[in-house]
Chains A and B, each alone.
Chain A
Amino acid sequence: MDNHGRALHKAANYERVTRQVRWLTIGTALITIPPDQPQSLFLYGLMCVSAAYNMLHYLPNFGRLRLLSSRITMLVLDNLFVAALLLLVGSISTPYSAFLVFMIISAAYWYGLRGSLGVIAGQALALIPTAMWAPFKPLSLSEPRTIAISLLVLLIIGVFVERLTRAERQERHELEALSRDNQTERERLLNLVNSLNDAIFMIDDRGRIILHNGAAQALVSAKGELRGRDLTKVLPLQRRSKQAVSLVELAQGNTDPQQRRDLGYAAPDGSITDLDISITPVRLGAAGAINYIIVGRDITKEKSLDQQREEFIAVASHELRTPLTIVEAALSTALLAKPQLSSQLTLLLEQAHRNTVFLGSIVRDLTTLSQAQDDTIPIQLRPVNPKLLLEQLVNDFMPQAKEKNLSLKLVLLPNTPSILSTEHHIHEVLQNYLTNAMKYTQEGGIIVKAAPSQNGGVLFAVQDSGIGISASDQRHLFTKFYRSEDYRTRETGGTGLGLYLCLELAERLNAKVWCKSTLNHGSTFYLEVPPFSQLQRDHAKVVEAEVSTLIDQL
């Protein structure tokens, strides 16, 4: 029940109870008033008026007459009734004065101390002058009548108070039950959160820990109460390259949930626990401050398996390179003797040569990939001039374009800035884009573009007029080993690693890759490189920290 409904219910209940009490009061008075006293007639008259007023309450539309039916009117009228009654019986010293108790309880029920004091003061003001005026002698009552009045009034008061406060009691029981439920619910949730094996922290927007579970306490070596402490200090994180990363900075200002698998917890004893970390911003209430829920799962084992796999690929692809170079060179050189070879032998040698070259390209992609994924290799940042980079690329691909009778153009927008990045990686990505464009374009041309990007870096694009990519293929384009079902692409060789490699390299540079394409009308592949890579910014921070410690030492 909401507050408004509860108030209505309370008012209706009060009205009903008061009505019943009025009847009982009138009844009590009628039974107990001795009929042979001078004021008896007046008293019967008062009872008739009162009964008539009480009857009004049973009229169906009485509730609409605010002037007569409002709570304050009822209180005033009832008080006047009691005052008149006491006046007529001649004294406050008669047992009828007990009726005043109703008035005080009623007033206190609605208006608290002020109400009860108001009733007492009002009745006193009414009774003191009349007591001095004394129109009637006090009603002389026999002892049995006095006892009967007292008992009846006590009984009525008891019933009245019970009825009046029943709603309150119910409400209190409900609230108590609710609070017990809440408590149970809270304990259940706490048990649930505590029984999880993943470490859970809840932090406020300044990075202070509000809540955490048992696994969180077990994960970090910090002793004692964690609540209120700075999470960055409690759970220092770092990349595999040992670069410190602040979890709080990662969380702050990000309204979307994030997941990271590249961070480890660096314990004070020097051990590293690799974590799968998810950060979820939550807002408590509409205008509440943002809190963050951080869940960390120990993935040290998975990571070490990943690492072993990556190392295996790195070593295997490295060891494959030399024999492949030799086989390729041997086959290529053997093919020089073509004129002396039978056509069958030439065919076999050519097949062997073509596939060796293909195998070489797979191995090359795997090597580049394992290098791109190995974040222990520090990234080398140098100024990159987009103009020189693209000119070199276009030069490299020009012979191929001429051979296929395709136009190959370079468009460089003015104000395209130089950036601090790894030229090698950008070159590799664009080279992959161009190789694909060449492969899948039979007529028309290819345009290589560079333009200033919104984030102050460079937006590279390779646009072709080729076969295009279907919407369903576009979704998987940058996935490992994905190859389109389009029969036209099946005719050309590809490792299915090229674009995945582009994605990995771009991530290394903190750059973005994506593509836009219409089937049969060509595709455009994009690479957006920031003005300097994330690592550079982290590095700048480290330098800043070093300088400030140096200043502190001075």
Chain B
Amino acid sequence: MSQPRILLVEDDLTLASLYQMRMEAEGFEVKHCSNGEEALQAARDFKPNLILLDIMMPRLNGFDVLDILRHTPETSRIKIVILSALGQANDQARAKELGADDYLVKSQVVIADVMARLRQHLNLPAKEAPTLESE
């Protein structure tokens, strides 16, 4: 089985590199973009199974990216999980209305929760302790 592809859209580079390292350790193929415009391009070229999308980003914000992806036939069926610092109920409601599959608030989850949620959306079994390759 080929590795599931995940597009990581996150403008905080430290956090992004950590997430990338973690997701690769969990056996995903990962591509990272740090703004909305890049993300739209990568969604077409990289053909991810799932997009982990931040909202507050320079140029194009996450809501706009989500809206465009859902209205583009070739990307409309990609799973999209929002991972944002915005915790307000109306932000969550807006993301759901625009067609997000899930909404995670950064302060309310730990990285292990995010991984578990990704597996759930990709219909993968919960994985026992993945290992990090030693340098």
Contact = CB atoms under 8 A, between A and B. Distances in A.
Contacts of B12: 322, 326
A325 B132 contact: no
A336 B131 contact: yes
A336 B25 contact: yes
B117 interface: no
A380 B90 contact: yes
A338 B106 contact: no
A321 B129 CA distance: 26
B89 A424 contact: yes
Contacts of A357: 110
B134 A337 contact: yes
Interface centre among A336, A337, A338, A424 (most CB of B within 10 A): A336
Nearest to B19: A329
Contact of A422 (B18, B89, B112, B129): B89
B134 A330 contact: no
A357 B113 CA distance: 12
Given A321-B85, A360-B110, A332 B15 contact: no
Nearest to A333: B22
A332 B112 contact: yes
Contacts, number: 63
A334 B107 contact: no
Contacts of A5: none
A343 to B, nearest CB: 15
Given A328-B110, A337-B131, A360-B110, A322 B85 contact: yes
A332 B110 contact: yes
A364 interface: yes
Interface in A189-229: none
B52 to A, nearest CB: 13
Interface string A309-326: 000000000000110111
B25 to A, nearest CB: 5
Contacts of B22: 329, 332-333, 336
Given A380-B90, A422-B89, A326 B130 contact: no
B107 A360 contact: yes
A337 B132 contact: yes
Nearest to B26: A336
A363 interface: yes
Interface residues of A, number: 25
| A324, A422, A424 — most chain B CB neighbours (10 Å) | A424
Nearest to A334: B132
Contact of B89 (A332, A337, A423): A423
Nearest to B22: A333
Contacts of B106: 321-322, 325
B60 to A, nearest CB: 21
B14 interface: yes
A76 B15 CA distance: 116
| Interface SS of chain B | helix
B131 A338 contact: yes
Contacts of A338: 129, 131
A395 interface: no
- Select the residue from A324, A325, A364, A423 with max chain B CB neighbours within 10 A: A325
A339 interface: yes
Interface in A348-365: 357, 360, 363-364
B123 interface: no
Given A322-B12, A339-B131, A380-B89, A333 B107 contact: no
A238 interface: no
Interface string B92-134: 0000000000000011101110000000000000000111101
Contacts of A367: 87, 107
Contacts of B132: 333-334, 336-337, 340
A328 B134 contact: no
Contacts of B108: 364
Interface string B10-42: 001011001101100100000000000000000
A333 B111 contact: yes
Contacts of A321: 85, 106-107
B57 to A, nearest CB: 14
A330 B85 CA distance: 18
Contacts of B111: 328-329, 332-333
Interface in A363-419: 363-364, 367, 380
Nearest to A368: B87
Contacts of A324: 107
Nearest to B83: A325
Contact of B130 (A328, A329, A336, A422): A336
B15 A329 contact: yes
B15 A325 contact: yes
A326 B85 contact: no
Nearest to B115: A332
Contacts of A328: 110-111
Contact of A333 (B21, B85, B87, B134): B21
A226 to B, nearest CB: 44
Interface string A416-430: 000000111000000
Nearest to A363: B107
Of A333, A339, A380, A423, most B-chain CB atoms within 10 Å: A333
A334 B21 CA distance: 10
Lowest 7 A-B CB distances belong to which pairs?
A: A337-B132, A336-B132, A424-B89, A329-B111, A329-B18, A333-B22, A332-B111
Interface of B: 12, 14-15, 18-19, 21-22, 25, 85, 87, 89-90, 106-108, 110-112, 129-132, 134
23 contacts: A321-B85, A321-B106, A321-B107, A322-B106, A325-B106, A325-B107, A326-B15, A326-B18, A328-B111, A329-B15, A329-B19, A329-B22, A330-B18, A332-B111, A333-B111, A336-B130, A339-B131, A357-B110, A360-B110, A363-B107, A364-B108, A380-B89, A423-B89
Interface of A: 321-322, 324-326, 328-330, 332-334, 336-340, 357, 360, 363-364, 367, 380, 422-424
Given A332-B22, A332-B111, 7 more contacts: A321-B85, A329-B18, A339-B131, A360-B107, A364-B108, A380-B89, A422-B89
